[in-house]
Structure 1
Amino acid sequence: MADIDSRTSRAYARNAPDERPLRGYATVLGVFAAAVAAVAGVARLTGRQLPVRPAAGDLALLAVATHKLSRLLTKDAITSPIRAPFTQFEEPAGEAELNESPRGHGARHAMGELLTCPFCTGVWVATGLGAGLVFAPRITRFGMGVAAAVAGSDFLHLAYDAAKKTVS
């Protein structure tokens, strides 16, 4: 099986500029699938039901909160200690954000890619918030509201800075 895995990896990454850690990706996907299965199992055991149709307000709040939290986790300077075991600092990216690159091989590299990609992390964040809406909707909505307010504040700060530059 290891031979098939390495052959598959080599064939897959033939044109890639660097090694593609397929086993690491599979490990990360397995953790995600296990977490989703655990949440679904607990929901079933406790009699929790998914909404038939999510409310439009919840979806809007979920989208904005997911955006903010995924950027906070993947780009913010203050959360760099979470990413540090899996990433390497490259440079400041402006507006309190950092550019980092994944380091290591296998699962470590795959985690580094996940933790430096707001699009990738967004799936995890949205899934976690969605589970929160099933198990603890009130506190989850409150937390999503706070994250959405911070996202709005971020955009206002950027707009303010841009307006100052056009006046100067």
Structure 2
Amino acid sequence: MTTDAARYDERGDVSLGGYAALASVFAGSVGTFALLARRRGVRLPQEVPPWDVALMGAATYKASRLLTKDKITSFLRAPFTQRTDEGEAGEVMDEPRGSGFRRAVGDLVTCPFCTAAWATGALVCTYAAAPRLTRLVCGGLGALTVADWLQYAWTATQEKVEG
């Protein structure tokens, strides 16, 4: 018997059911937030200034890297992943393990691009409910992003000088 995963992917290791469960969790979380926000009288902003979009973008980038690549957050990924290599600048390379839902979560927490969607969802919800707090958190994560870029620039400058 051919499974849906096997028909979708020649290797048959794609966790379509796990992905569907994760998508349902995401959609359910956003829907629950919307209902609770409405009941509590949270008023959505009429507009999101470009500066806030840039700030949330930098924060999303850094949050997704912290969750998917940082050594310190390995304990969060460990039930769903296996360490395969050391990356650059203190980052690590993990691969998903297991099957079904466990594999789907492993795929999510090893992919900065995938995790960024979840981080954005969380930031947008908090921005709607508490914009000042969200700007503060995003400012901190944005500053960390700038610090990372400066670290890379410093290292590149040192390497160039030292030849």
Note whether the superposition's TM-score is higher than 0.5.
yes
Q: Please say if 1:24 is aligned against 2:21.
A: no
1:3-152 matches, cutoff 5 A? 7-13=3-9, 15=10, 17-152=11-146
Identity %: 41
Cα distance in structure 1, aligned partners of 2:55 and 2:79: 31
Cα distance in structure 2, aligned partners of 1:153 and 1:37: 35
Contact kept in structure 1, 2:5 and 2:12, CA below 8 Å: no
Shift of 1:18: 4.6
- Gap regions ≥5 residues in structure 2: none
- TM-score for both structures, normalised by structure 2: 0.95
Cα distance in structure 2, aligned partners of 1:49 and 1:9: 42
Cα distance in structure 1, aligned partners of 2:80 and 2:103: 7
How big is each residue's C-alpha offset from its partner over 1:96-153, in whole Å with a ceiling of 9 and x where there is no partner? 1000000000000000010000000000001101111111111111010000000000
Cα distance in structure 2, aligned partners of 1:18 and 1:49: 46
- TM-score for both structures, normalised by structure 1: 0.92
Shift of 1:53: 2.2
Moved over 3 A (4+): none
Cα RMSD after superposing both structures: 1.3
- Gap regions ≥5 residues in structure 1: none
**Count of aligned pairs:** 162
